Amino acid sequence: MKFTEVSYGDLLPVDGYGPGFFRIGGEKVEGPMAIMPSGRIEWGGYEDSDALVAEAGNIDVLFFGTGTEIAYLPKPLKQALEAAGIGVELMATPAACRTYNVLLSEGRRVGIAAIPVS
Q: Which residue has the higher pLDDT, 11 or 87?
A: 87
Whether residue 69 has pLDDT greater than 90: yes
Q: Of the candidates 21, 22, 57, 23, which has an alpha carbon nearest to the alpha carbon of residue 38?
A: 57
* Residue 61: strand pairing partners: 110
Phi, psi of 26 (to 5 degrees): 80, 0
Q: What is residue 10's predicted lDDT score, i.e. its pLDDT?
A: 76
pTM over 0.85: yes
Name the pLDDT band for 61 (thresholds 50, 70, 90): very high
Q: What is the mean pLDDT of residues 82-108?
A: 96
Under the phi-then-psi rule, with left for phi > 0, alpha for psi from -120 to 50, and beta for the rest, what region is 53?
alpha
Cα distances (angstroms) measured from residue 99 to each of 44, 76, 79, 112 = 22, 25, 24, 9
pLDDT per position as a tens digit, 17-60: 999 999 998 899 999 999 999 899 999 999 999 999 999 999 99
Where do the domains of the chain lie, and which CATH numbers do they carry? 14-114 (3.40.1230.10)
